[in-house]
Amino acid sequence: MRTPLIAGNWKMNGSAALIESFGKTFASAALPANIDVVVIPPFPYLDAARHAFSNTPLQLGAQTLNPHHSGAHTGEVSGSMLKEFGVAYVLVGHSERRQLYRESDEQVFDRLLAALDTGLTPILCVGETLEERDAGRTMDVVLRQVGYIMARLAPEQRLQIVIAYEPVWAIGTGRTATPEQAQEVMAGIRAYQAGFDASLAEQLKLLYGGSMNASNAAELLAQPDIDGGLVGGASLKTDDFYAICQSA
């Protein structure tokens, strides 16, 4: 069975106080057995988080990485640096990076490969815009994003990634995909993977992201192809994020 994974993407938010609050709450947390919970704060908080979370089940993630291992790339951070600070997961292809920083599929792939090379688990984010959904192109767009990556990976690498389906129109808007809408796309992603390998499709972990909160999480997470959530806004409130983890 696939272990549920709940990941909180703080984006460019958070504070030392929030790290401390997570550390305290999750130190005495009664989480469901066999669940992975990941907190993804901005880079400067990683070291403090590593210490504050040492007595908790929380794992650490990063929001991006540079494809190079080191060198003249001012302002960038490499996978090996993240690894040194206890990071286990890294987001690649988040729609904010694709849209605001013009990251192409090729750049997303390079980052994902660098993550795998350094032993980090990449969480590949994919999703359609509202315009694309309204034009009936959701599945085409999502499978093109997934396919670009999968076609370039070796079979064993395909097993080492997590995919987050995040409809762009649902991110930070308060407008969540219905459980049926999310399930439909995620079943499509899994069926597409079955074209590569049926056992890969069974094992592949799929997260839903887009205005997931403490009220709608249980219903989304109950869908057969939704193995967890990538949570933005609601991961900035300790109690809300804790409640989401409990519904997994």
Residues that bind ligand PEP (CB under 6 A): 9, 11, 166, 171-172, 209-212, 230-234
166 is catalytic: yes
Q: How far from 17 is each of 40, 52, 85, CA to CA, in Å?
A: 15, 11, 19
150 or 234: whose CB is closer to ligand PEP? 234
94 is catalytic: yes
Please, which residue, 11 or 111, has the CB nearer to ligand PEP?
A: 11
**Number of C-beta neighbours around residue 245 at 10 A:** 26
CB of 218 to ligand PEP, least distance (A): 16
Q: Which of 51, 73, 166, 180 is catalytic?
A: 166
Pairing, β 228-231 against β 5-9 = parallel
Output 193 or 213, the one with its CB closest to ligand PEP.
213
Q: Which two tokens stand for residue 125?
A: 């984010």
Whole-number minimum distance, CB 206 to ligand PEP, in Å?
A: 14
Residue closest to ligand PEP, measured at CB: 232
211 labelled binding-site residue: yes
Provide, rounded to whole angstroms, the least separation between the CB of residue 106 and ligand PEP: 22
The closest of 11, 17, 79, 14 to 52, measured between CA atoms, is 17
Catalytic residue among 94, 96, 103, 128: 94
Amino acid at 150: M
Element (H, E) at 188: helix 179-194
Comparing C-alpha atoms, which of 165, 129, 171, 133 is closest to residue 146? 165
Q: Binding site for substrate: residue ranges? A: 9-11, 172, 211, 232-233
